[in-house]
Amino acid sequence: MGELRVRPIRARHRSAAAAMRLRGRTLIVLLLAATLTVACEPTGERRLVSIREGELQPGYLTGELLYAETRGVRQSALFIHDLWEATRERLPLPRGYATSPNWSPDGQRIAFAFGTEDGRSHIWVVDRDGENLTRITDGEVVDDYPRWSPDGDSLVFASIRDGDYDWRLFVVPVDRGREPRVVGSTDGHSVFPDWSNDGRFIVYSNRDGDAYELRVLDLVADVDRALTEGGEGGQHLYAQFSSDGREILFATDRDDDVWQIWTLDLATNTQERVIGSDSMDEYPTYSPDDEFIAFSTGHLAVYRTDGGAFPDGQLRWAVTQNLAWAPDWRAAE
Partner 1 sequence: MIQDFLQLPVVILVRVLLGMVLAFVVLPNIVLPRPPSARTSLDATVVRSVRWTGIILAVSHVLLVVRLFHVLPILLLCAYGWLRKQDRLPSRKRVATDGVVTTDAVLAGDVSEFDEMPERSHSAVQRAWLQFTDMFSVFERVGFRMFVDWIVGVWRRLLGLVRSVFTRQSALLAVLVAPIVGILSASLVERGRLAFRFETLSPPEAYVYLTWAKSFANNSAFPDGIYPQGLPGFIAFLGKLTPGIDLYEITRYTGALIGMLLVFGIFYAVLRLTANVGAALFAAGAFGIFGTVQQWHSPWIRQTGPLPQELGFAIALLALPSAILAITERDRDHLRTTMLAALGIGIIHPVPLAMFIVFAFAGALVTAVIDRGGFDYAFFVLVYGLIGGLIAHVYVPIGLLVGLDIFQGMDHPFTVRSYAGGRTEALVGLMATERLGHNLLTYVAMGSVALALLVALVMRARSRTRHIGAQLAGLAGFGIVALALYDVRPLQIPLNLLGPMGNLVGIAVALALGAGFAAVTAAAFAVRNPLQRAASVIVLAAVAVAGFGRTFDTGPLQRAPSEYEAMAAVTRDVMRNQDAFTFTIVGTPQQRQAVAGVGTFIELWVFARDVTVRDAQDPGFVVPDVSSLMFARDLGQTLPIPTADVYIFVEKDPFPVPEQAPVGPTEEYYYNREKRGRIMATVYAWAEYYRHYHTDMTVHFEDDDVVVYRIRRRPNTVASAAAPQFKDYTWEPGVLFTGGPAEPSEVVIPWES
Q: Can you give 71-101 as a three-state secondary structure string?
A: EECCEEEEEEEECCCCEEEECCCCCCEEEEE
Contact 111, 125 (CB under 8 A): yes
Q: Residue 130 carries which side chain, given as an amino acid letter?
A: G
Torsion of CA 65, 121, 243, 107, to 10 degrees: -50
When asked if residue 297 is in the footprint of partner 1 (CB under 8 A), the reply is: yes
Confirm if 195 and 148 have CB atoms less than 8 A apart: yes
Of 219 and 251, nearer to partner 1 (C-beta) is 251
Q: Within 220-239, which residues bind partner 1 (CB under 8 A)?
A: 235, 237-238
Contact segment (CB under 8 A) with partner 1 among 35-43, 55-63, 207-215, 261-269 equals 207-215
With CB under 8 A as the contact rule, which of the stretches 17-25, 33-41, 69-77, 127-135 interacts with partner 1?
Answer: 69-77
Give the list of residues 6+ apart from residue 237 with CB closer than 8 angstroms, or none.
Answer: 191, 192, 205, 212, 250, 251, 252, 282
Does 55 bind partner 1 (CB under 8 A)? Our answer is no
User: Parallel, antiparallel, or unpaired: how do β-strands 282-286 and 109-115 relate?
Assistant: unpaired
246: contact with partner 1 by CB under 8 A: no
Rounded to whole angstroms, how far apart are CA atoms 166 and 31? 55
* Cα-only R_g, the chain: 26
Binding residues with partner 1: total (CB under 8 A): 40
Give the range of 5-13, 38-46, 223-231, 256-264 binding partner 1 by CB under 8 A.
Answer: 256-264
Asked if 298 interacts with partner 1 (CB under 8 A), we say yes
Rounded least distance, CB 296 to partner 1, Å: 8
Segment lying near partner 1 (by CB under 8 A), choices 10-18, 32-40, 59-67, 291-299? 291-299
> Where in 165-194 is the site for partner 1 (CB under 8 A)?
165, 167, 189, 191-192
Contact between 43 and partner 1 (CB under 8 A)? no
The conformation of residue 277, written as its DSSP 8-state character, comes to B
280 binds partner 1 (CB under 8 A): yes
Site for partner 1 in 313-332 (CB under 8 A): 322-323, 325
Residue placing its CB nearer to partner 1 in the complex, 109 or 122: 122
Q: What is the DSSP letter of 181?
A: E
CA distances from 77 to 48, 66, 99, 102, 272 (A): 32, 11, 8, 14, 33
Residue 185 burial (CB count, 10 A): 20
Closest approach of Cβ 257 to partner 1, in Å? 4
Binding residue for partner 1, selected from 55, 256, 272, 289, defined by CB under 8 A: 256
CB of 246 to partner 1, least distance (A): 25
Sites of contact with partner 1 (CB under 8 A) = 70, 72-75, 97, 115, 119, 121, 142, 144, 160, 165, 167, 189, 191-192, 205, 207, 210-212, 235, 237-238, 253, 256-259, 279-280, 282-283, 297-299, 322-323, 325
